[in-house]
Chains A and B, each alone.
Chain A
Amino acid sequence: AQSVSQHNHHVILSEAASLELGCNYSYGGTVNLFWYVQYPGQHLQLLLKYFSGDPLVKGIKGFEAEFIKSKFSFNLRKPSVQWSDTAEYFCAVSRTSGTYKYIFGTGTRLKVLA
């Protein structure tokens, strides 16, 4: 069965620190990959997505992620975090055929200290 692992459940950083959140998935076929963010009191919003092409994907608010097929990974990065990046981050995977339903990781709560 497909599964998604997010290794860090809670991360605390100071402003301007660099961020990398890990995401690994288990599925041997072709996948679509997503990172979503949920700010406090808000709904899930798409940060970035990978469907095909350049494995380095840039998203909103300065976030980027790199798809490494050989490692089944799609890690999220940001060079310099801000207090406003405090949120919960979710990695999700879907197949490229069928229902396109998402398999989510457990989420990572990021707290950025001002």
Chain B
Amino acid sequence: EAGVTQFPSHSVIEKGQTVTLRCDPISGHDNLYWYRRVMGKEIKFLLHFVKESKQDESGMPNNRFLAERTGGTYSTLKVQPAELEDSGVYFCASSQALGAVSYEQYFGPGTRLTVT
């Protein structure tokens, strides 16, 4: 079974530019999560999709961040325009969930974003 994949693994962009991160969850996982770790800090939740619907986007920092999950498969996270404080590692995770039963999340390798 293929794991969660993320692309690119690294991205270096200048302040003001746009970057799009992609996440492919494990096949069959309806739940997809985005997290971010800024250097030296904890991993923080950004948002959660159930299939193509945003279930919780309470962790999105501001409206420069736009997440989509068209068709309920892969997801993209766009940062436009990027600021210096957006630098960090962006993790994607996916999980099964059947009704009220929760399952553990499987994480991708992360995308390291550096904004200069």
Binding site for B on A (CB under 8 A): 4, 32, 34, 36, 42-46, 49, 51, 90, 94, 96-107
Q: Is the interface of A mostly helix, strand, loop or mixed?
A: loop
Minimum CB–CB distance for A33 against chain B, Å: 11
- Count chain A CB atoms within 10 A of each CB in B43, B45, B107 and give the residue with the most: B43
Complexed CA–CA distance, A43 and B41 (Å): 17
A102 contacts B42, C-beta separation under 8 Å: no
Question: When the two chains form the complex, which single residue of B3, B33, B102 contacts A96, counting CB atoms closer than 8 Å?
Answer: B102
Minimum CB–CB distance for B31 against chain A, Å: 7
**How many residues of chain B are within 8 Å of chain A by beta carbon?**
27
A32-B102, A98-B56, A100-B95 known; A106-B42 Cβ under 8 A:
yes
A43-B109, A43-B110, A44-B91 known; A101-B104 Cβ under 8 A:
no
Complexed CA–CA distance, A90 and B93 (Å): 15
A101 contacts B42, C-beta separation under 8 Å: no
- Count chain A CB atoms within 10 A of each CB in B48, B56, B102 and give the residue with the most: B102
Residues of A within 8 A of B97 (CB): 100
B27 at the interface (CB under 8 A from A): no
What are 17 A-B contacts defined by CB distance under 8 Å? Answer: A4-B42, A43-B107, A43-B108, A43-B110, A44-B91, A44-B93, A99-B48, A100-B95, A101-B59, A102-B33, A102-B35, A102-B45, A102-B93, A102-B105, A103-B45, A104-B35, A106-B42
Please give me the residue from chain A that is nearest to B100 by CB atom.
Answer: A97
Residues of B within 8 A of A103 (CB): 45
A36 contacts B107, C-beta separation under 8 Å: yes
B44 at the interface (CB under 8 A from A): yes
Please give me the residue from chain B that is nearest to A96 by CB atom.
Answer: B102
Residues of A within 8 A of B17 (CB): none
A104 contacts B44, C-beta separation under 8 Å: yes
A99-B48, A100-B95, A101-B33 known; A49-B42 Cβ under 8 A:
no
A99 contacts B55, C-beta separation under 8 Å: yes
Complexed CA–CA distance, A102 and B102 (Å): 12
Residues of A within 8 A of B4 (CB): 43
Complexed CA–CA distance, A19 and B48 (Å): 34
